[in-house]
Amino acid sequence: MSDFDTVRAETRAAVEQAADPAALEAVRVAVLGRKGAVTDLMKNLATLAPDARRAYGAAVNALKDELTQLIETRRAELGDAALAQRLTSETVDLSLPARPEAQGRLHPISQTIDEVIAIFGEMGFSVAEGPDIEDDFHNFTALNFPEGHPARDMHDTFYLPDAADGRKLLLRTHTSPVQVRTMMNQTPPIRVIIPGRTYRSDSDQTHTPMFHQVEGLVIDETTHMGHLKGCLAEFAQAYFEVEHVPLRFRPSFFPFTEPSAEVDIGCSRKGGELKIGAGDDWLEILGCGMVHPNVLRHCGVDPGRYQGFAFGMGIERIAMLKYGIPDLRTFFDADLRWLRHYGFVPLDIPSLITGLAR
């Protein structure tokens, strides 16, 4: 066996036996160091004939490269093993909970109003608003509720002390006074929706003294009851997000519209469960009609030239129907459990293009 073979074999054995980086380094020094076996081999060079030196030198260098490679490979192996061992020791229990982040919720009323705005906004409506404390001109008289008319009784009005100028102040019983304010301040064409708080002196299973309405008003020269039907049909379809929502218009009475209608949507109550959509039953959701000429006149709009429609619906009611919320009174209780259950995450920004809610 040549010296070469001996060095190779001994080194191979030593490398294999090196259990850690330090032992391996000792092997490296012993083989490739200044006093190492390979260096010793190189020292033999001087003893050789000049023509043999080249071949011998090349052979030593080849051996050196080979052994270096051997040691580095082993070094990488040892490193990998050490890392693997460290990582094992670093294991954490991932079943532990992550750092807490508070989960906020939007009230269903806010979400529903945003949904309604998203839909009617696409139809060219803009949002109008007005004060909760009104006078009886804006809430009743201008809307064609004659003084003392039984229709006023139907509203269960909350009153405040009269204003200094004698006006009767009250909490608006509907969002309709904003119709009056809008018509008095804008010239047609008008296309607004009016969401907001409303108040009636009524409190039982299905009534709360405060609730929310959204009102719609369109005034121009040509809009008729067919458009009202078209508008509400599209709204119902978009809002309820079910396959087909049949709509039924029934004649009704509101002092501020003529003709007036109540609108039912199709539903089924099979097995005691209410489902919006095609079915064998009807559910009233809103009142509407063509704006009464007297209302136009009261608001300085010429009824000989302009006409249009108005509608109004309860925000809580349509929220209850869409989201299956059983009890109106719970809307105002601020019960955290309720708000977390029926509330909406702020990411649910309603849009007809990207979706109303999840």
Partner 1 sequence: MKFTLSWLKTHLDTSADLATISRTLTMLGLEVEAVVDHAEAFKPFVVGHVVECTQHPNADRLRVCVVDTGSAKLQVVCGAPNARQGMKGVFAAAGTTIPRTNLLLKKTNIRGAESNGMLCSAYEMGLSDDHEGIIDLPADAPVGKPFASVLGLDDPMLDVNVLPNRADCLGVRGIARDLAAAGLGSLKPRVVPAVPGQYTSAIGVRFALGDHPEACPLFVGRQIRGVVNHASPDWLQRRLTAIGLRPISSLVDITNFLTFDVDRPLHVFDVKKLKGDLVVSLARGGERLAALNGKDYDIAAGMCVISDSVGVQSLGGVIGGAPTGVDAHTTDVFVEAALFDPLRTATTGRALGVISDARYRFERGIDPAAVVEGMEAATRLILDLCGGTPSALVVTGAPPDTRRIIHMAPSRVAALGGVDVSESDSRRILEALGFAVGAMSSDGSLPVVPPSWRADIEGSADLVEEVLRVHGFDHIPATPFVRPGNLPTLAVSREQRRVLLLRRLFAERGMTEAVTWSFLPQAEASLFGGGDGALKLVNPISVELEQMRPTPLPTLLAATRRNADRGFNDLALYEVGPGYRDPTPDGQRAIAAGVRAGNAGARHWQVAGRAVDAFDVKADVLAALAAVGVVPEQLQLTRDVPAWYHPGRSGSFKLGPKAVLATFGEIHPAVARHYDLAGAVAAFEVFVDAVPLPRARAGRHRPLLKPSPFQAVSRDFAFVVERAVVAETVVRAARDADKALVAAVSIFDLYEGKGLPQGTKSIAIAVELQPTERTLTDADLDAVSTKIITAVERATNGKLRA
Q: Which of residues 205-234 bind partner 1 (CB under 8 A)?
A: 209-210, 223-231, 233-234
Whichever of 11 and 307 has its CB closer to partner 1, that residue is: 307
Q: Is 262 in the site for partner 1 (CB under 8 A)?
A: yes
Query: Phi, psi (5° rounding) for residue 170?
Result: -155, 165
Cβ proximity to partner 1: between 27 and 171 the closer is 171
| Rounded Cα–Cα distance for residues 265 and 320 (Å) | 14
> At closest approach, how far in Å is the CB of 241 from partner 1?
19
- Can you tell me which of 49, 87, 92, 96 binds partner 1, judged by CB under 8 A? 96
Instruction: Count how many residues are written for the chain.
Output: 358
283 binds partner 1 (CB under 8 A): no
Q: β-strands 126-127, 247-254: how paired?
A: unpaired
Q: How far is the CB of 211 from partner 1 (least distance, A)?
A: 10
From 28-36, 54-62, 72-80, 190-198, span contacting partner 1 (CB under 8 A): 190-198
* Amino acid of residue 8: R
Question: Site residues for partner 1, window 9-48 (CB under 8 A)?
Answer: none
Compute the least distance from the CB of residue 350 to partner 1, in Å.
10
Q: How many residues bind partner 1 (CB under 8 A)?
A: 94
Residue type, position 53, single letter: R
Asked if 350 contacts 114 with a C-beta cutoff of 8 angstroms, the reply is yes
Yes or no: say if 256 and 175 are a contact pair by the CB < 8 Å rule: no
Q: Pairing relation of β-strands 190-199 and 133-135? A: unpaired
Taking CB under 8 A as the criterion, the residue among 34, 35, 86, 337 binding partner 1 is 337
CB of 110 to partner 1, least distance (A): 5
Instruction: Indicate whether 89 belongs to the interface with partner 1 (CB under 8 A).
Output: no
Question: How much is the CA Rg of the chain, to the nearest whole Å?
Answer: 42
Stretch that binds partner 1, among 20-28, 42-50, 54-62, 248-256 (CB under 8 A): 248-256
Shortest distance (Å) from residue 189 CB to partner 1: 8
Terminal CA-CA length for the chain = 81
Alpha carbons 168 and 155: distance in angstroms, whole number: 15
**H/E element holding 192?**
strand 190-199
State in angstroms the smallest separation of the CB of 181 from partner 1.
9
